A and B are shown apart, each in its own frame.
Chain A
Amino acid sequence: MAEPPKLRVLMVSDFFFPNFGGVENHIYYLSQCLLKLGHKVVVMTHAYGNRSGVRYMTGGLKVYYVPWRPFVMQTTFPTVYGTLPIVRTILRREKITVVHGHQAFSTLCHEALMHARTMGYKVVFTDHSLYGFADVGSIHMNKVLQFSLADIDQAICVSHTSKENTVLRSGLSPAKVFMIPNAVDTAMFKPASVRPSTDIITIVVISRLVYRKGADLLVEVIPEVCRLYPNVRFVVGGDGPKHVRLEEMREKHSLQDRVEMLGAVPHSRVRSVLVTGHIFLNSSLTEAFCIAILEAASCGLLTVSTRVGGVPEACPLHGSQVLPDDMVVLAEPDPDDMVRAIEKAISILPSINPEEMHNRMKKLYSWQDVAKRTEIVYDRALKCSNRSLLERLSRFLSCGAWAGKLFCMVMILDYLLWQLLQLLQPDEDIEEAPDIRLCHHRGVEVSEGLKEEDKVRNG
């Protein structure tokens, strides 16, 4: 008989499959590795089009696509208290012990964390991005984050820079924040079996063509490099508002045969695009961690990147940058400096061995390692003491003169609504869902946990 799972984790975020991105991949890979470690993981997200209800993914990962309408950039419409009934039902059904929210921009995540805290569950939050402090949007976002994080048990950030950013924005105590860097799926990102010839050097760029990802820098850098090196060509994958600027650049400098625009590249095809190149160029203006350069290094490409955010920081795993010196060349986010960095990269290209790079990446980054470290964070969160409503309210008061009182009112109302729900539908009325585990040795079979004798009583 299988052992009961040690931890039962609910991952909450607006961003999950079928959407593709850093957060989505992070949640998926982390969940898969936690499942292999013997824990139970359930994911909660909003419905994507027709994809609504319960779905099971690889390894028995249960995903709830809750039919709340998304409104801006795939985030759920914020109703503050609207998600309380469904969150309560899912937490009781699946007998959850820890709730793990992802991404500060996800309204579903913040609401679920608030309701989970009201109901006394232990809560962990992971922040994946860096945000500013100056514009109106950021100020409001940071206030919401301050409210959300005032009461959580532990937080995780993907780099030290991200940790500083989160601590400053939310006023959270740094002792509560853990740093667990992202990893890369080295099994999927393997170098090409036959390395492309270095007669023509191919520089690959795969990113969303938006301001934040430095698309404007590309517009300056590409013509300059093409002028200096006649044997260099560019492959640009990805789509976005800045696509037009890149097309204009191609026209202006007649680079149609030297710059190939692929349009949006689905995640499953990213590797096949990467292995056609020798150098990977990342021109982001801000980056909390940057999985893209890890994927490129795993495929054996030499990386040229801007020295921003979490990219150049010290990583405790191996005491150097996100990638060691001989795998990455850094530059300031300035066109001239980037051109110089590309020149340096081209000069050291002959000494690069893709297979060796891939093997080093395998040792440096693995999702199993991330899962084990996350497990430690969960254990720490579970050891945190239970706090009464009054103690929790006192934490909110420190958030600001008016904001503190407003947050207290919000939490008191949430508590009252929860009590009302308990009256209308007592906890015992919420049926527990049986654990459905996949037996690997016999293919896809389902074992249901239900006692035969409980079902029918002879009358």
Chain B
Amino acid sequence: MVSSSVSNKRYTYIHESESKSTREAIDIHHVIINGGRATSYARRRGIGFFLVLLASSMYFFLGKENPVKTLSWGCLLSGLLVMLQSRKFVKKESVIIMPTFGIQLETQYLSGKTVSRFIPIGKILKPVLVECVTPITCYWSLSLFLRGEEQLTLVFKELRPPLKMLVPIWKALCAAIGTDHQSETIVEEEHDVSS
């Protein structure tokens, strides 16, 4: 297994592949949120839990006077909210490409839960790199055109890795589904892409 990686401030991209890349080799691409962010999410979860504990203790031990009551309710609710949010914190998203079979998209959360989706190779029409514009920002995303579905399917649902991490995954997907992307003449030019 040969692995290569690229990282920036926020994300780390790891590519695991067979050392001799044959057409049937399984290709795995991971995008991991960098350590700092992951532990900050864990820290927030800890704070949430602490707030819930504080709220319940305030309520029971300091009596039921009104200001204390509202304060403890406030702590309880915000604590619960933070804990609920932390279930959505993503640790890693992966794309496992199995040529002639399909691709598996996996999302691994901090809580340990993993959500995966398998897409058979026949269902994929084309992988595309799209620029998404929101009222506040603009970012690149890798999406799939699927047969019979009107909407594009995002490969990375929660994370927003930069373009330089998305391009090798896109190329690998094109190769796997047999699109001759060379006909699109990707010419590498002397162009500095800031990391």
**A residues near B, CB below 8 A?**
1-2, 52-54, 64-68, 82, 85-86, 89-90, 93, 428-429, 431-435, 439, 442, 445-452, 454-459
Contacts and interface: CB of A to CB of B under 8 A. Distances in A.
B188 interface: yes
Contacts of A446: 184-186
Contacts of A448: 186-189
Interface residues of B, number: 37
Contacts of B167: 450, 455
B133 A54 contact: yes
Contacts of B130: 53-54
Contacts of B138: 54, 64, 86, 89-90, 93
B131 A431 contact: no
Contacts of A2: 189
A448 B164 CA distance: 12
B187 A85 contact: no
Contact of A442 (B164, B185, B194): B185
29 contacts: A1-B189, A53-B130, A54-B130, A54-B138, A64-B138, A66-B133, A66-B135, A68-B135, A82-B135, A86-B135, A86-B136, A89-B138, A429-B9, A434-B191, A434-B193, A445-B185, A446-B185, A446-B186, A448-B188, A450-B188, A450-B193, A451-B190, A451-B191, A451-B192, A455-B6, A455-B167, A456-B4, A456-B168, A457-B6
Given A1-B190, A64-B133, A447 B4 contact: no
B15 interface: yes
Contacts of A82: 135
Interface string B168-186: 1000000000000000111
Contacts of B192: 451
Contacts of A93: 138
Contact of B184 (A445, A451, A454): A445
Contacts of A433: 131, 163
Contact of B163 (A89, A431, A435, A458): A431
A436 to B, nearest CB: 10
